[in-house]
Amino acid sequence: MGNNRWIRNSLIYLLIIIGVIVVFYTLIPSFGSSEQLSITDVFNDVRSGKVDQIIVDGEKLTVIPRTTIGGEATKYTSRIGENADFYTLLNEAVDLDRLTSPPKVDYKGSGGFGSIFGILLNFLPLIFFGGLILLMMRQAQGSNNQTMSFGRSRARMMPFNRPSVTFNDVAGVDEAKAELEEVVDFLKYPERFLSLGARIPKGVLLVGPPGTGKTLLARAVAGEAGTPFFHISGSEFVEMFVGVGAARVRDLFEQAKRNAPCILFVDEIDAVGRHRGAGLGGGHDEREQTLNQILVEMDGFETNTNIIVIAATNRPDILDPALLRPGRFDRRVTLDLPDVVGRGAILKVHVAGKPLSNEISIEIVARETPGFSGADLSNLVNEAALLAARKNQSSIFMADFEEAIERVIAGPERKSRVISQREKEMTAYHEAGHALVAWLLPHADRVHKISIVSRGNMGGHTTLLPDEDRYLWTKNQFQDMLGVMMGGRVAEELIFDEVTTGASNDIERATKTALGMVKRYGMSSSLGPRTFGKREELVFLGREISEERDYGDKIAEEIDVEVRHLINSAYRQAQQHLMDYKPKLVQIAEYLIEHEAISGDALRRLFNDDPPGIESEPARPIPAPSPYAPPAPPVTHGDPLPQSGPFIRQFGHQRSSIGSAARRRLAYRITPSPLMGEGWGEGENPADVTTWATPPFILSPSKDPLSLDGRGLEPAPYLIRG
């Protein structure tokens, strides 16, 4: 095979060289000829006695004069008519007997083989280029690119007898896997379904965000089915030539019919399956012609083709309705981001075969990666392995996973970035403000890590993690999230009496959140439970394309007022908390300035310890009750407790300190007596509950959502950018 290819390539190069030589000698005149004269000029020179010799070569004459220029004869050429006899013409034109020295006339043989060679020489360039084009066409048709076969399908058939991916390699999408396992069972054991009158599904549409395993699941189907499996991308149907897309669809289904029963997988079908009539070409758009052919092939007059079509997309909202109806895609399987259990299962698949340290806990890594897709988790494991290899370790440690998580979320460390001491201090107080407000607010997520190490385009970051996955948000959770976002800017203003550009992203996200509360979720008390604006967005990509305004200027002004009220309230809330706990803010910031990052047990200890010198400080003014707390119920028995606690929770009870002790306390429902209303208390046991009223209340434990442990959760790592 290698020798034949070498011979073929050598022949091509040889033909090219010969062709260049032939073209050179055919198109470029002879170097020895200075000029070409007419036959009349030749006869005149003969009469004048200037010609010494004439060489006749067919129709060509070479004239050698007697005179020389610079000691060298200057030859020239001429031509006579076809089939003419030069000597006869010469005798008729010139009286050779009167010449003192007539020229010598020599004839060169030009018949037979020479004439044939001359003819071939004239046609050789045409023969050469024709052969070269023919050779290129044959090579193109025989190669994989099939340059001239525009109408041929580009689908590849995977070898079903050597599966590379099976259902054992797919985790975290159990429901989707079960749906496709049933399709595989139908192909393997059709009699089990046909005996009950069931028919094979025509198509399965896999929808979901990028990286959730749609293509991987299709590859697993190919490995499990034991039948031919064709796969093609939606963009491979359409070309610049009219009719190519429809021809490729026909050829694809012809191949599938010849190999039925089989599975046909179309990846990114939105490239060819968009709404018809949306293109610039209208009904004559090449993409629409291709889609029409797909619709006919999937559910036309031929219904018993025994071909299952599996398609994947993350844009189901733009697909043509005719493509989505039953009979074409009977099933729609949604692959969402995995929950904590699914992430653990996916991580176990990806770490299989890798040397892990005994300290690694897959469950902890799964809890620290909410919002990660399957592709993100695969990249995370690979990043951890690369970090371990960079350190010349023999196994992967938990620290490698922690660093890999930060690299995936925020980017690699920018260790070479030089910042001034003042900027470092401002960044430390900014991040400490975020973290402290998040720790204080009851509905905020748990603070996981604080860092002032520059990553990507961030000077620092505070990572908040939920304790479990969340699928619903409450108004209190949104309000506390706004307060956390404002914490960084408030800390800058409180400590340095000025603000920086570091809070620009926080303000942008807070504005977007407040707008969503008012316009989308109906959480405005003044505007009521309704939405404003018709949005067009990418459902699984999380991006909004446009919004149609369906309200007037007065409502728009009220929306602005409500958004401003939400943000300003969150700002005042964060300001109140940081003023009350300014020593703790200073302690956290100083720790960050010295150590640059803190997480885990060290972070919990830092929050639990009292700030340095707080016991010896003079008594500070008692802060006013928080404007965000509901009014306390009236007291009819006993004296109310003095407002001596440094913090009042939103649901009206006092909190004596910050730290794990306060977090461990239980919330108690205060059972109303005939003389009293209902209230709330807090304490480690009923005996030391502090509240705003005294007995006759009867205390009983409660699991009410307003308890200290009833914290809200978030479906993704909440990263406060510095």
Token digits of residue 258: 């010849």
Say if residues 452 and 459 touch (Cβ distance below 8 Å).
Answer: yes
498 is catalytic: no
Say if residues 102 and 66 touch (Cβ distance below 8 Å).
Answer: no
Between helix 475-496 and helix 582-595 the angle, nearest 10°, is: 80
Residue 622 contacts by C-beta under 8 Å, 6 or more apart in sequence?
643, 644
Report d(CA 318, CA 500) in Å as an integer: 42
Report d(CA 621, CA 633) in Å as an integer: 24
Angle at 336 between CA 334 and CA 338, to 5 degrees: 140
Token digits of residue 607: 């929050």
Give the ranges where 581-704 is alpha helix by DSSP (H). Answer: 582-595, 600-608, 660-664
Closest C-alpha among 331, 232, 317 to residue 275: 317
For 502, list phi and psi in degrees, rounded to 5.
Answer: -65, -20
Give the ranges where 267-314 is alpha helix by DSSP (H). Answer: 286-299
Characterise 647 by phi-psi region: left (phi > 0), alpha (psi -120 to 50), beta (else): beta
* Choice among 406, 431, 562, 714 that is catalytic: 431
Report d(CA 446, CA 666) in Å as an integer: 18
Report d(CA 374, CA 379) in Å as an integer: 9
Residue 650 contacts by C-beta under 8 Å, 6 or more apart in sequence?
442, 476, 626, 628, 629, 630
Burial class (CB in 10 A: 0-12, 13-18, 19+), 66: middle
Report d(CA 640, CA 693) in Å as an integer: 5
* Residue found under tokens 């709330």: 680
Report d(CA 373, CA 356) in Å as an integer: 22
Report d(CA 563, CA 557) in Å as an integer: 10
Report d(CA 323, CA 290) in Å as an integer: 12
What distance, in Å, lies between the first and last C-alpha atoms of the chain?
A: 63
List the catalytic residues: 431
